[in-house]
Every structure is written in structure tokens, then in C-alpha cells.
Structure 1
Amino acid sequence: MQEELADLNKQAIAAAIGHMGKVAWPTLVLTFLVCSLFIPCLVLFAYGYMSVWLATLLIGILTYISYTSLHEAVHGNIGGNKPHLRWLNGLCGYAVAPIIGIAYASHKHEHFTHHRFTNVEDKDPDFRISGMGKGPVRAVLTVLWFFFAQNAFFAKNNWHSAKLKDRVLYVTELCVSLGWRGLIIAIVDRPGISVVVILGYFIGAWCVSYWFAYRPHFPYDNTKRYQNTSSLIMPSWMRPFEWFWLGQNIHSIHHLFPRVPFYRYHALHREIEPILRAHGTPILGIFSRKPIKVPQS
């Protein structure tokens, strides 16, 4: 049985390689759109062309989407396997970091630790998000603590060993991320600007915490490679929302093959689904969380 699973794993790796290594043009376009829409959204609100609630919603959506660019940059997926284009990862990562409020310099270290120790309570830095489902107050506090821990990871674990350049970048990122929000609130003379900037950010941060971290890893009780993250299958009528989720409902693919870009998750999942099932990957209904059976031919 173990030999059979090992052979299936080799087949999955071979399939995944076919989805890796190219320049991630969709991610570059996504990053450009997020960055080019974020500031105009704030400007339109400031000049009275957009209501406070519409602006808050749009800022929340753009904040959520921005994390995908940061996430892809951390994994080095944007420049592909081309050494001369690795700078694209840093460009995109640093561009969206002030929007999502997570320092790229810190997240590079924190996120790889999460992958190395997924669901290990005392080692996985994302494990704290497991308490998110224990009531609304806990959900809010957990998100706030989660984002604080994301940014503090570098200072806590990497500061003393980091080069001066990396320290400067980290501190600069934190200052820019906090500074632009305070500056906008101070200079925009329109009621509701604090709601747009702060609540809009929290909506996006909550969505990242819930859809990227909490739901795919729940119930946080398995550390095995093929079983520590779920594939959450949506009904066909939820396709528009699935597009907004940007593939993270198929988070099992990301943890198995982090160099596969997000827009290839579904294609690879379809290709290797029998292998996933053989390895015991949780393939669940998004609402019921019950196993999805193999469709009958």
C-alpha cells in the first residue's frame, strides 16, 4: 500500500510540474488592477462621488484580493523559474503589502514556517486562527491578533540574524502601512473616512483570515501532508463567489505544491483528484463539510 501511494505521489508531482514555472501574467494583471483601483476608490469617496458604504465594501474587496498577490510573491510564483525575473516577486509583494497590512519582509519568513509545521499547535504560527469559530468576539480578536502576529514574526524570530537592508525594509514597510492610513484619515475632510479606511481594511483582513487560513485548515487536527488542508467544493451556483475566492477553496493543492500559481489550482485538482482521494485528502462540501463522493460515470 505504501509503495502504491509513493508511486501516486510521484505521478502527482509530475502533473504539478506541468503547471509551474511560467511567468504569472494573471497575477501581474491582478496586482496592477488592485493597486490602480485602490487609490482612485479613496479619491472618489473623498470628493463625494462614492458613498461611505460602497467605498468601504470596495476597499474591503481590494484588501482581500491584494493578499493573493502577496501570497504568490512570497512563494516566488510571479517570476516563474526565470532568475532574471525574480524581481517581479518583490515588486508585487512590496506593492500590495501596504494594502493588506502585512509586511512582505515578515511574511516571507512567517508563511514558510506555516508550511513547514502546518497544524502543529506549538510551531505553526497560523495555528492561532483555529479559535476564530468560537463566537463573534473571539472572531474579531483572533483576526486582530493574527495580523499583529504576521507583522511581528520578523521582529521576534529574524531580527537579530537579518541583514541591515532587510531590517530597514521591514521597518519601512510597517511605517508606510500604518502611516498612509493615518495620513488619509487626517487630511480627508469627509465624514466616514475612518469607516472606509479602518472598517474596509478589517473586512478584507477578516476574509483573508477566514477563507485563506481558517476554513481550509479546520479542524486543525491533522498534520499529514495530503490531509492537513481541505478541498472545499462549491455548488455550481456559487461560481461567481468561487472566482472571488481566487482558488483558495482548493487550498489542498497549494499546500501540496506551493509553486503552482493560484489560477492553476482547479485544473491540477481535476487532474490528480483520484490521487488526492487515495491519499485521504479531505474533499468536502463547503457548507456541509461532508465528504464529496466520486461522481458516478
Structure 2
Amino acid sequence: MSVDHLSDLSPESSRPARTSAENHRAALAIARRHMGHVAWPTVFVSLGSLAGLAVSSAAALTGLWPMWVAMFVNGYLLLMQFMAVHDGIHDGICGDDKRFKWLNDLLAWTGGILTLIPYRGYDVMHLAHHRYTNDFERDPDTWCSGRNPIFLVLRFFTQTPHYVYMMTRMGMWKDKTLRRPYLIAGAHHFTAWSLLAAGFVYGFGVEMAMLWIAPTFLNVALIGLIFNYLPHRPHLSQERYTDSGVFLLPRAIHRLVTVLDMYQTYHLIHHLFPRIPFHRIGLAFHEMRPILEAEGAAIHDWTHA
């Protein structure tokens, strides 16, 4: 596999839409109303989850609640941290206001360090996923696919090391532009595992494993499920309007699930217009739904179930 196809990726990378030009212009007009502004809710989610991680970990270390409870709580809070990485790659936090580009990158770097999904390095993989969605040769997220439930769950938990494998397989280290993010990603993982080893040597390895390392695996498994598997299943279409799906659940649970899964029930909208902040993709969907239906988008509507 060559690195050449990674050379022209950008924060707006998506494949060209093979669709009605009129429909796409109409969808783009709607999308523009939801992007370009500073995404303060994303900032609050990032800072709030950072505070939550501190409180949860302190509660475990002081015996206020069991270590295993903190492990699961931290795993979910890391999903919230991941949103800064995910949206930050597309400048979705600062929007068009470059005065806040520093904030966009700071939150994305922080989230990347905590989740062990490095902002620089993962950005190349994520943009490749957008450009080559469901292409089993070039989309690294197709790792989270398959029919065997046991192997599928194992793949959810190992998506991050698979990214490192894909970076190496694609030869990022050979390319002058991509070598730096490749080395950053490698250093990131080496440092984390070195810290864990040091923790065991100096007597705090269990705490580090339970409060940080294990939660990163829980987080990446959640990402594998709600970002990489469910929205793209069965991983067949490579067309822009049909390579991902939207899930409208029964009204009694839809709003709750949508908030808990960081709005990935509307994942298709992120693929169509990746600069829309995650908390606005639901609003954008409901405005452009007639256009999406005209284009044959996969809208799984169980509203009345």
C-alpha cells in the first residue's frame, strides 16, 4: 500500500459527491448555517470531562468509590475527551475564527494525550477514513467490521494499535510531510506504556492501569462501536450520501441515546459536512432530511416503533 493517497488530505477531506448538483448545493447551504462559528459547547464538554476525570480518579484514590467504578466512568469521560480530537481535526472547534485555532489545537492535543489517540497521527488516519470510507484497502476504520461477534469485539478494543499498524503499512515514515505525525504517534504510545511500566516499578501501576490505561481501551471500544461499526455497517457503499447512516430511535430513548453517543446517531452528517460541530449535526439532519431521502441516504427510522 502506497502513502501517495495520503498526500492531499485536508480537514475537509471527503470524496466528491456523485449526486444532483442542485441537491448538494441545497444541503451545503444548510450545512453552512451550522458551521464556521466557535463551538463553545464542545469546549465545555472537553473541559467538563477533564474535570470529571479528575474528580472520578480522586474519588477512587481516596476510597470514595471502587477503582472499577472509576474505570468505567473514566472510560466514558474519555469518549467526551475524544470529541475534541475528532472535531478538532476538522477545525470544528474554532470554525472560521482563527483567533481560536490555538484553543482548537490545545483541546485536541489534550484529548489525544488522555485517550492515547494522538491528535497528530490520528488526524491522517481519520482524514483517510473520510476520503476512502468503506474502502477495505485504504480506510483504516474498516478494521471494525465483520460478522463474528467475538472477533468484532476484539477489533473494537484494538482499533488504536491498528492505526499504528496502518501508519507503518502505508509508509508514513518515508514521506517528509507525514513523518512527523507518524513519529509523534509512536512517541505518544511509547511514553504512555513507559509510564505504565514505571508505575509498576514504583508501586502505582495498578492505579495507573485502572484509572487511565484500561479506560482508554473502553473508550476505543466505544469509538469502534458507535463511530466505526454501526454507522457504516455493512461497509458496502463508497458513495458520499450512502457510505454512512442515520439512526432515528423510538422517541422514548432517542434523545438520551443521542446525547450519550455524542450525536453519532447522525453520523452521516459528519461525513457529508465534517466541519459541523458534533452537537449540531442532528439539527442539520432534520433540516436537510428531504434532500438526503432524495439521494437515497440510509435513514433507519424507528421513531414509531
| Interval containing the TM-score (normalised by the shorter chain) | 0.7 to 0.9
Alpha-carbon contact 2:128-2:140 (below 8 Å) kept: yes
Counterpart position of 1:147: 160
Q: Do structure 1's residue 242 and structure 2's residue 258 form an aligned pair?
A: yes
Structure 2 Cα separation of the partners of residues 180 and 31 of structure 1: 24
**Greater mean alpha carbon deviation, residues 166-175 or residues 79-88:** 166-175
Which of 85, 94, 100 pairs up with 2:100? 85
Aligned amino acid, residue 98 of structure 1? I
**Aligned-partner Cα distance in 1 for 2:18–2:238:** 21
Q: Does 1:158 align with 2:168?
A: no
Identify the match of residue 133 of structure 2 among 118, 121, 131.
Answer: 118
Which is further off, 153-162 or 34-43?
Answer: 153-162
Q: Is the 8 A contact 1:56 1:200 kept in 2?
A: yes
Q: Taking every aligned residue pair, what percent have the same amino acid on both sides? A: 25
Contact 1:98–1:176 under 8 Å retained in 2:
no
Greater RCO, CA 8 A, separation 6+: 2
Pair 1:252–1:49, CA change in 2 (3 A) = same
Q: Deviations over 1:124-167 (max 9, x none)?
A: 11111112x4122x033212432112234444432232467656
CA distance in 2, matches of 1:177, 1:149: 17
More divergent stretch after superposition (238-247 vs 264-273): 238-247
- Residues 226 and 256 in structure 1, CA contact (< 8 A), matched pair in contact too: yes
Runs (5+) with no aligned partner, structure 1: 287-291
Number of positions where the alignment pairs a residue of Structure 1 with one of Structure 2:
285
Q: Which amino acid aligns with 2:294?
A: A
The reply to whether residue 233 of structure 1 matches residue 248 of structure 2 is yes
Conservation of the 8 A alpha-carbon contact between 2:246 and 2:267: yes
Q: Over the residues paired in the alignment, what is the CA RMSD in angstroms?
A: 2.7
Contact 1:41 1:55 (C-alpha < 8 Å) held by counterparts: yes
Distance 1:240 1:181 in 2: 35
Q: Secondary structure at the match of 2:78?
A: helix
Query: SS in structure 2 opposite 1:216?
Result: coil
Provide, for residues 25-47 of structure 1, a one-character-per-residue CA deviation record: whole Å limited to 9, x for no partner. Answer: 11111111122221332222122
Contact 2:245 2:298 in 1 (8 A): yes
Question: Aligned partner of 1:143: which letter?
Answer: F
| Separation in structure 1 between the aligned mates of residue 203 and residue 18 of structure 2, nearest angstrom | 64
Partner of 2:8: none
Task: Give 1:285 deviation, angstroms.
Answer: 4.0
Deviation at 1:12, TM superposition (A): 0.5
Matched, 1:204 2:219: yes
Residues 37, 176 of structure 1: alpha-carbon distance in 2 compared, 3 angstrom cutoff:
farther
Shift in alpha-carbon separation, 1:218–1:166, aligned structure 2, 3 A? closer
Q: Secondary structure at the match of 1:217?
A: coil
Mark the CA change 1:210 to 1:185 in structure 2 (over 3 Å): closer, same or farther: farther
In structure 2, the residue corresponding to 1:159 is in which secondary structure?
helix
Deviations 1:264-288 (A, max 9, x none): 11111010000000000000047xx
Q: 1:196 to 1:115 in 2, by over 3 A?
A: same
TM-score, reference length from structure 2: 0.84
Aligned-partner Cα distance in 2 for 1:4–1:57: 43
Give the corresponding residue for 1:107.
122
Encode CA deviations 1:34-93: one digit per residue, 9 max, x unaligned.
Answer: 222213322221221111332122111112222211101111111111223222222111
Q: Is the 8 A contact 1:99 1:177 kept in 2?
A: no
Moved more, 249-258 or 153-162: 153-162
User: What does residue 5 of structure 2 align with?
Assistant: none
1:63–1:204 Cα contact (<8 Å) kept: yes
1:41 aligns with 2:59: no
SS of corresponding position for 2:140? coil
Match of 2:292 among 271, 276, 283: 276
Q: Which letter maps to 1:146?
A: Q
Q: 1:267 to 1:183 in 2, by over 3 A?
A: farther
Q: Which amino acid aligns with 2:158?
A: W
Aligned equivalents of 1:188, 1:215: Cα separation in 2:
40
Letter in 2 for 1:158: M
1:187 shift after superposition: 5.3
Give unpaired runs (5+ residues) of structure 2.
1-16
Aligned residue number for residue 58 of structure 1: 73
Amino acid corresponding to residue 290 of structure 2 in structure 1: P
Q: Between 65-74 and 164-173, report the one with greater CA deviation.
A: 164-173
Matched residue type, 2:172: N
Q: 1:127 to 1:211 in 2, by over 3 A?
A: same
- Mapped to 2, the partners of 1:241 and 1:210 lie a distance apart of 14
Counterpart of 1:17 (choices 4, 8, 32) is 32
In 2: Cα distance, 1:59 partner to 1:12 partner: 37
